[in-house]
Amino acid sequence: MEMSVPAIEKFLAGLVGPVGKPDTMAVELGAVRKMAKAVEDFDPIHYDAAAAIARGSRGVVAPWPLLWLFYFNGTEHRIDFPFGKATVHGEDEYEFHEPVIVGDEIAMQMAITDARLKQGRSGPLGIVVEERRFTNQLGKLCAVLRTTLIRR
């Protein structure tokens, strides 16, 4: 049985808001070095505190992909769509603010910031935007990662 357009719109509207509680993780030197090597970023600021401090940082700087590690080890989240057959990844958007430094405690809060229905050529498409905000122990926003999912 297919859902009506108003029922789909109501379901999507109900998704918007915070998802779970913030997850907090420590930024560890070993993880920073492994991630830097994995993405082939050999800038000394990812390995050596003196080099990072000389360039104006508080300490060894984590490469940005480390934030995905925090996300995948954090909030377990799944949307059980009552319509459509498949969910596809639409896009990722990144904003970087305060550098993530070894020794920081990073809190990640996830929310669904937008969920709407769009008419596609093959029928209705659910568009859902998930946002993950990463804040350090000083209360400074480090990064915002947004992912757009499309349900068809």
* Residue whose structure tokens are 């808001």: 17
Pick from 79, 82, 78, 90: nearest CA to 120: 90
| pTM of the entire predicted model | 0.88
What tokens does 103 get?
Answer: 């020794």
- Residue 45 CA to residue 86 CA, distance in Å, equals 42
Strand partners, 94: 145
pLDDT one digit per residue (tens) for the chain, 152 residues: 578 899 999 999 999 999 988 889 999 999 999 999 999 999 999 999 999 999 999 999 999 999 888 777 766 778 889 998 899 999 999 999 999 999 999 999 999 999 999 988 888 899 999 999 999 999 999 999 999 999 98
The predicted structure's pLDDT at residue 75: 65
Residue 27 exposed, middle or buried by CB count within 10 Å (0-12, 13-18, 19+): buried
Q: Which domains does the chain have, with CATH numbers?
A: 5-151 (3.10.129.10)
- Residue 94 CA to residue 112 CA, distance in Å, equals 15
Pairing of strands 87-96, 123-135: unpaired
The predicted structure's pLDDT at residue 147: 93
